[in-house]
Amino acid sequence: MKSYPHPFIAREGWPFIAIAVVLAAGIHGYAGFSWAAFPWLVVLFMVQFFRDPARKVPSEPGAVLSPADGRIVSVGKARDPYLEREALKISVFMNVFNAHSNRSPVDGRVEKTWYFPGSFVNADLDKASAENERAVIYLRTADGRDVTCVQVAGLIARRILCYAKEGQVLARGERFGFIRFGSRVDVYLPPASQPKVSVGDKVYATETILAALP
């Protein structure tokens, strides 16, 4: 994954964009622009949805970076159901206009991964964390801090892509997955971690610091 060159368009979107362009161009050539206007708008939507810009990684020690673009919908103490511990939980909601490439929040070794099938309720709701389809990465930092990062499908999302493997070492900001068409990412941190964001804040994957580890 480190070798992925971060082109402007995420590789997950190439087939969708290619199909949309072929259809729009075909309609345009056969029936003219008036009939092809909406298909060309679909092409533009696909391009903006699958954009995957390179991001600058903050250098602050102990910083937990946002794993996704979006809006903060939850900050507070919660039970981490995967590691069965008390934790600070921070949730990022992604709408269809956010970039959907997911990045590692910390430097750490992937200790375990899980996948849970589930429903597709609105990812803006807290119950989505427990009820929706989700993929989970358990990361441990070099100094022994445990971080759980959860990709959660949303109302429209129907495909979670998680490339992280057990035993793999991820760097902060390294790309590990993608969720198609609206979703959320939950991060569970040691309870003494200090949040740096509030509900309603707009955040950007890798560039925004969510919290500081204790």
Q: Which candidate in 91, 129, 183, 193 is catalytic? A: 183
SS (HEC) of the chain:
CCCCCCCCECHHHHHHHHHHHHHHHHHHHHHCHHHHHHHHHHHHHHHHHCECCCCCCCCCCCEEECCCCEEEEEEEEEEECCCCEEEEEEEEEECCCCCCEEECCCCEEEEEEEEECCECCCCCCCCHHHHECEEEEEEECCCCCEEEEEEEECCCCCEEEECCCCCCEECCCCEEEEEECCEEEEEEECCCCEECCCCCCEECCCCCEEEECC
> From residue 160, how far is each of 12, 43, 101, 116, 146 by CA, in Å?
11, 22, 11, 11, 23
Catalytic annotation present for 119 = no
- The first and second tokens of residue 149, run together, are 């990062």
State the catalytic residues. 183
